């Protein structure tokens, strides 16, 4: 019996592409994940944060949001691209998290990985991430509510913020 090697195009079939970027400026912080499958179907999202976030925190939020959407769509194979060297380096195990927020985002990301059969995170030049960059800037634009072509939402608190815990006394 002859064993045939898998054709690379077959291996790549069914891989969704996720492009993420973030924006953090005086008017606020936001994220712009763009999720697409090879047949051209695209979901673009602009997310404005109701909390302060550094550029790296906003980039993590964009990646986590994109992966969360993919998980809800039952995507099994995904390739995410970001222009953040720190986030990609942490996600790929090339860097160690030195600050608590980065360690918390990395831990959250690690807990999400098992939802996917295949997950690859790539570093791309900023120029190749133009549409996700536009979406992240749209999220921080003053006239955000008037846009009708992109899903727009607000995130009240960061993904890694601690949930409110209620103390209950049991007699």
Q: Is it the case that residue 143 has pLDDT exceeding 70? A: no
22-44 mean pLDDT: 74
End-to-end distance of the chain based on CA atoms, in angstroms?
A: 71
Q: pLDDT band at residue 114, thresholds of 50, 70 and 90?
A: very high
Q: Whose structure tokens read 């222009």?
A: 83
Give me the sign of the Cα torsion angle 70, 116, 92, 156: positive
Q: Which residue's entry shows tokens 């993420």? A: 20
Q: Please indicate whether residue 21 or residue 73 has the higher confidence score (pLDDT).
A: 73
Higher pLDDT, 116 or 133: 116
User: Is the pLDDT higher at 86 or at 38?
Assistant: 86
Mean pLDDT across 139-153: 53
Alpha helices of the chain — where are they, by DSSP H?
8-12, 55-72, 85-91, 100-112, 130-139
Q: Which domains does the chain have, with CATH numbers?
A: 14-155 (3.30.420.10)
| Bridge partner residues of 45 (DSSP) | 151
> What 8-state DSSP symbol labels residue 128?
G
Q: Which two tokens stand for residue 141?
A: 């634009």
The residues pairing with 6 across neighbouring beta strands, listed in sequence order, are none
pLDDT one-digit tens code per residue, 51-77: 888 888 988 998 998 999 999 999 999
> What percent of the chain lies above the pLDDT cut of 70?
67
pLDDT at 10 over 90: no
Reported as a pLDDT band with limits 50, 70 and 90, residue 127 is low
User: pLDDT higher for 83 or 155?
Assistant: 83
Please tell me the predicted confidence (pLDDT) of residue 91: 96
> Residue 3: pLDDT band by 50, 70, 90 thresholds?
very low
């Amino acid at each position: 019996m002859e064993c045939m090697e898998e054709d690379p195009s077959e291996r790549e079939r069914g891989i969704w592409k996720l492009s993420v970027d973030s924006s953090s400026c005086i008017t606020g912080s936001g994220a712009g994940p763009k999720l697409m499958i090879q047949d051209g179907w695209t979901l673009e999202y602009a997310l404005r944060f109701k909390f302060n976030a550094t550029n790296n925190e906003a980039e993590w939020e964009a990646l986590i949001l994109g992966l969360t959407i993919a998980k809800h769509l039952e995507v099994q194979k995904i390739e995410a691209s970001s222009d953040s060297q720190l986030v990609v380096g942490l996600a790929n195990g090339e860097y160690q998290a030195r600050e608590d927020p980065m360690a918390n985002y990395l831990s959250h990301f690690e807990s999400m990985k098992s939802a996917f059969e295949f997950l690859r995170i790539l570093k791309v030049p900023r120029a190749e991430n133009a549409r996700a960059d536009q979406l992240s800037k749209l999220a921080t634009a003053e006239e955000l509510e008037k846009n009708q072509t992109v899903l727009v939402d607000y995130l009240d608190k960061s993904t890694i913020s601690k949930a409110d815990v209620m103390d209950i006394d049991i007699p």
